[in-house]
Amino acid sequence: MELLNVINTISVILTLVYLVVVFGFIRGWGKLISFKPAGIKARTMVSVIIAARNEAGGIKRTIECLLAQDYDPALTELIFIDDHSTDRTAEVVLSYASRGVKLISLKADAATNSYKKKAIQTAIGQASGTLIITTDADCRMGSRWLSTVVACYEEKGYKMISSPVVYDEERSFFERAQSLEFLYLIGLGASTIGNKKPSTCNGANLAYEKEAFYAVGGFQGIDDLASGDDELLLHKMAAADDSSIGFLKNKDAIVYTHAKPNLREFLQQRKRWASKSTRYKNKSIIVLGVFVWLFNLSILINLITALFMPEFWPVLVCQLLLKIGIEYYFLRSVTAFAGRTSLLKLLPVLNLFHILYIIYIGIAGNSGKYEWKSRIVR
């Protein structure tokens, strides 16, 4: 009986902590004011940088979206870096050379664990723009994307701007479930910026001053990790001045991409993302992540125990209902912004799988190697 009381008490504490955490996300998201460009003529030279490896199948669509932007072409530089592709990626990019699209072929003298950072840093070294904007070679955006990002930069004076990324064109339940989970991550990152405690962002839609990039040493100190060209750079800039970082809450600024088609690719991607946590300098982010992981672990433990000891069912049910309820409240606003409120009906089912996923990734993402772009990295 005493052990039962201890387990229940720990479960209650972890649940309360999780509720407080998500309330913080709700508060931070609410602090973000929707940005409306003032209509002032832009004057910033921009370099859009895209690292690509074996993206011949979809990169043409990305290039067409970038060339269709309504931002002044004279102030726009499009730079693609071919990261040792073994398909026709470089050939496709070169076919647009007459329209001003530039190609850099990455030539690594020696093997490295972070080809993408090397690619981006190489491009920045040759870029003409004051503002660097990164996206991915499988992304799409509306024609006002670039002008909206630049307007935010000029009007708000941020050194770094994190903008929204949304999955679309799903072809299965698994991909739709990823879309909802990914919106949770995007909303989480945005809310921490709203709370002036930036924790995460996505390199598929990230802008920063070239001067600010060099001021924090670029990727120096984080260039041995395959991942982190976005989030770890955010942490470096936040350490220098967290008030200089903003989130662009505007639908025209959304970049669209695809969910992973199968479980294996999904887990490999998330292991890569989770691997960055080993290099977090901000201990509060680590502590927060540990609490969230323990909360999910407590639900699993209570579920297994309840199968043999029925007195655990009330605590388990309470945890699940509170978790789903608070996440629904948070995601209601985030999905409305993205125009994906229909995904909310997946939340109860997604929760059961998400608990197992969080527990697994918390361990797997911080140990061992994983595959990324047909390479084994760590």
pLDDT (mean) for 267-275: 86
- Structural domain for 62, as ranges: 33-261
pLDDT digits (tens, 9 = 90+) for 3-43: 677 878 899 999 999 999 999 999 999 999 999 999 899 99
Q: Are residues 144 and 288 in the same domain?
A: no
Q: Where are the beta strands (DSSP E) in 237-352?
A: 245-247, 255-257
Q: Which residues pair with 117 in a beta bridge?
A: none
The partner residues of 246 in beta bridges, in order of sequence, read: 161
pLDDT higher than threshold 60 for residue 370: no
Across residues 66-91, what is the average pLDDT? 96
Question: Are 221 and 168 in the same domain?
Answer: yes
Residue 51, domain CATH: 3.90.550.10
CA dihedral 208, 267, 358, 220 (to 10 degrees): -30
Question: Structure tokens of 107?
Answer: 């030539």
- Whether 83 is covered by a domain: the verdict is yes
Name the nearest CA neighbour of 134 among 203, 76, 75: 203
Query: In this structure, is residue 272 part of a structural domain?
Result: no
Identify whether residues 206 and 136 lie together within a single domain.
yes
CA 96 to each of CA 80, 85, 124, 289: distance values in angstroms, whole numbers, following the listed order: 11, 17, 20, 44
Do 214 and 356 fall within a single domain?
no
pLDDT number for residue 368: 59
Q: Is residue 275 part of a domain?
A: no
Average pLDDT score over residue span 98-119:
82
Examine the domain organization and report whether 56 and 132 are in the same domain. Answer: yes
Give residue 109's pLDDT.
Answer: 61
Tokens 């050939």 — which residue?
A: 91
Neighbours of 58 (CB within 10 A): 18
Q: DSSP character for 92?
A: H
Q: 152 and 15, same structural domain?
A: no
Residue 126 and residue 8: Cα distance in Å, rounded?
58
- Report how far residue 342's alpha carbon sits from residue 367's, in angstroms, rounded to the nearest whole number: 36
Q: Is 144 exposed, middle or buried (0-12, 13-18, 19+ CB in 10 A)?
A: middle
The pLDDT assigned to 113 comes to: 59
Domain shared by 226 and 296, yes or no? no
pLDDT at 123: 96
168-185 pLDDT tens trace: 999 999 999 999 999 999
| Chain CA centroid to CA 258, Å | 13
Total count of domains within the chain: 2
Per-residue pLDDT band for 71 (boundaries 50, 70, 90) equals very high
- What's phi and psi for 257, nearest 5 deg? -150, -175
Alpha helices for 312-365 (secondary structure H): 313-338, 347-364
70 found inside a domain: yes
Q: Does 160 share its domain with 120?
A: yes
How would you classify residue 202: left for phi > 0, otherwise alpha for psi between -120 and 50, otherwise beta? beta
Establish if 374 belongs to a structural domain.
no
Model pLDDT for residues 133-160, shown as the tens digit of each residue: 999 999 999 999 999 999 999 999 999 9
The answer to whether the CB of 343 falls within 8 A of the CB of 79 is no
- Has residue 194 been placed in a domain? yes
